[in-house]
Amino acid sequence: MKIVHTSDWHIGQMLCARKRHEEFEAFLAWLAALIDREQIDVLLVAGDVFDTPLPGNRAQALYYGFLSRVAHSCCRHVVVIGGNHDSPSFLNAPKELLRALHVHVVGAASGDPAEEVLLLRQPDGRPELIVCAIPYLRDRDIRLAEAGESIEEKEQKIQEGIRRHYAAVAKLAVEQRQSLGVSIPIVAMGHLFTAGGQTVDGDGVRELYIGSLAHLPAAQLPTAWDYLALGHLHVPQKVGGSEWVRYSGSPLPMGFGEAKQQKSLCLLTCIEAGIAVTLYPVPVFQPLESVRGSWPMIVERLRALVAAGSRAWLEVIYEGEERLTDLRERLEPLVSGSAMEILRIKNSALYTQALCQQQADETLNDLDLYEVFDRCLAAHGIPAAQQIVMRHTYQEAVTALQEADSQAE
C-alpha cells in the first residue's frame, strides 16, 4: 500500500494582496498526476485545506474538482481533517456526499473519539488500514473554562486536553485492530503545534492557543500507531527525531520567509517490517525572491535576476544607511520589461525606532492582524510586561471571533 501525507494547502491564500489561484491549480494538477504515476492508494490531508473559513468560489472549485478527479483514479481513499484555518461546518457540510466518493472528512471533534477512527477497506471488503483522523482541537473541545484561571493554568489544561484526546483515539484504534484479528497498519493524523517545532519568519504560522506551553511535547504523543501525519507547521520536519512522526509542511511557500525551502510530500510505503517514508519534492510553481541589502547590493541582485530571465515575485528590503524616500521609483525601472513583479518593499531607513511606524511603501496588505496589533502596542509605548498580557487577551478575542464566525455559518 502507498500513502501520501500532505497538509497546509491554504487554498485561496493571497500574497501581498496578489491572488495565487494559478499556483494552487498547478499544484493540485501535479498532485493528481503524482497519484496516478506512483499508484497511490490513500491520500491524507492533515488540515488547513483552505486559508480562510469562508473560501471564495474559485478556491472551492479547485478543491472539489481535485477530489472528483482523485475519486476516479487509482486512489481508493482520501482522508481530510480540519485545521485551525478551516471552518469545521464548511468542511463537514458535504461529508456524506463525499463519502460516496471514498473521501472521508473530519472537520472538527464531535465529542465521541470513535468518530475519528476510520476503518478503510479494500475493494473486496477486506480491512487494509485504520486511520485516526484527529482534527484541530479547539479550546472548547478540550478545556472547560473556569473563572479566575491564570494564563498558565489555561495553557496546562489545553496541553492535558490534547494529550488525553490523542490517547483516547489511539486506544480505540488499537482495540479495533485487535477485534479484527488482522495485522493492518494504524496511521494517525493531527493538526497541532509540537514543542520544538521549527518555523520561519513570514510563514504565517501562529500560536494555536494562548502561549507556547500548549505545544505538546513529542514524548506525550501516543506510540500505538505506525505513523503520525501532522499538519500546521510549514517546514517539512521530523518530530523528536522520529521517522514516523512528521510534518509534511506546506506544498507552496506561504510567504517570502519560505522562499528558499524545498517543499515536499511524505510518501509512505507499507511493508512487512512497518512503514518506509520517502520525501517527494514539490516543484516550484511560482518563484519567490527576497532581495535585501544596501542600494548597490539590491541593484546588482536585480540585474542578475533579469539577466537570468527570472519570473519571480519579489520582496525588496532596503537596509542601507542612506535615507531613500523614492525607493519604489528607483526600483521599477530595474525590473521593467522583465517577467518579475515587485510585491513588497521594506525601507528600513524610514523606520523610526521609537514608534515602529509603517514604511512609506508599506500597506495594510503587508501585515496580518497580529502585526497590526504589535504596531499599535509599540506606537503607544506600552511597557513590555503589559504587552505580554495584552497580546494574550487580543489573541483570545481573535480566536473567539473566528470560532463564532465558524459556528454561525
Q: Report the CATH number of the 288-400 domain.
A: 3.30.160.720
Report the distance separating Cα 134 and Cα 80, nearest Å. Answer: 10
- pLDDT for 185 equals 95
Q: Of the given ranges (72-81, 198-207, 225-234), which has the lowest mean pLDDT?
A: 198-207
Share of the chain above pLDDT 70, in %: 83
**Is residue 345 within a helix (H) or strand (E), and if so which, with residue range?**
strand 341-347
Report the distance separating Cα 230 and Cα 185, nearest Å. Answer: 17
- pLDDT for 367 equals 61
- Nearest Cα to Cα of residue 254 among 34, 7, 1, 8: 8
C-alpha cell at 75: 486512489
| Angle made by CA atoms 232, 238, 241, in degrees to the nearest 5 | 140
Taking 50 as the threshold, does the pLDDT of residue 213 lie above it?
no
- pLDDT for 358 equals 42
Q: What is the 3-state secondary structure (H, E, C) of 268-293?
A: EEEECCEEEEEEEECCCCCCEEEEEE
Residues 249 and 232: beta-carbon distance below 8 Å: no
Taking 50 as the threshold, does the pLDDT of residue 104 lie above it?
yes
- pLDDT for 127 equals 95
In the chain, count H helices and then E strands.
Answer: 10, 17
Report the distance separating Cα 276 and Cα 229, nearest Å. Answer: 13
Report the distance separating Cα 341 and Cα 328, nearest Å. Answer: 12
Cβ neighbours around 380 below 10 Å, total: 8
**Is residue 14 within a helix (H) or strand (E), and if so which, with residue range?**
strand 14-15
The beta strand positions in 137-263, using DSSP E, are 186-191, 227-231, 237-239, 242-247
pLDDT band of 271, cuts 50, 70, 90: confident
Strand partners, 265: 280
Mean pLDDT value across residues 395-407: 60
Q: 154 or 312: whose pLDDT is higher?
A: 312
Taking 60 as the threshold, does the pLDDT of residue 68 lie above it?
yes
- pLDDT for 283 equals 96
- Nearest Cα to Cα of residue 278 among 236, 240, 332, 319: 236
Taking 90 as the threshold, does the pLDDT of residue 94 lie above it?
yes
C-alpha cell at 249: 509542511
Backbone angles phi, psi at 53, to 5 degrees: -65, -25
Taking 70 as the threshold, does the pLDDT of residue 202 lie above it?
no
Average pLDDT of the chain to the nearest whole number: 86
Taking 70 as the threshold, does the pLDDT of residue 147 lie above it?
no
pLDDT band of 399, cuts 50, 70, 90: low
pLDDT band of 205, cuts 50, 70, 90: low
Superfamily name and number for 2-281: Metallo-dependent phosphatases (3.60.21.10)
Q: Which residues contact 332 (CB under 8 A, 6 or more apart)?
A: 342
Give the position of cell 518530530.
Answer: 239
Residues 239 and 266: beta-carbon distance below 8 Å: no
pLDDT band of 353, cuts 50, 70, 90: very low
Domain with CATH 3.60.21.10 in the chain: 2-281
Q: 253 or 382: whose pLDDT is higher?
A: 253
Taking 90 as the threshold, does the pLDDT of residue 19 lie above it?
yes
Domain with CATH 3.30.160.720 in the chain: 288-400
Pairing of strands 242-247, 237-239: antiparallel
pTM, to two decimals? 0.84
* 291-341 per-position pLDDT tens digit: 999 999 999 999 999 999 999 999 999 998 888 888 989 999 999 999 999
Highest mean pLDDT among 213-217, 268-272, 284-288, 396-400: 284-288
Mean pLDDT value across residues 392-409: 60
Taking 90 as the threshold, does the pLDDT of residue 408 lie above it?
no
- pLDDT for 409 equals 47
Mean pLDDT value across residues 120-134: 95
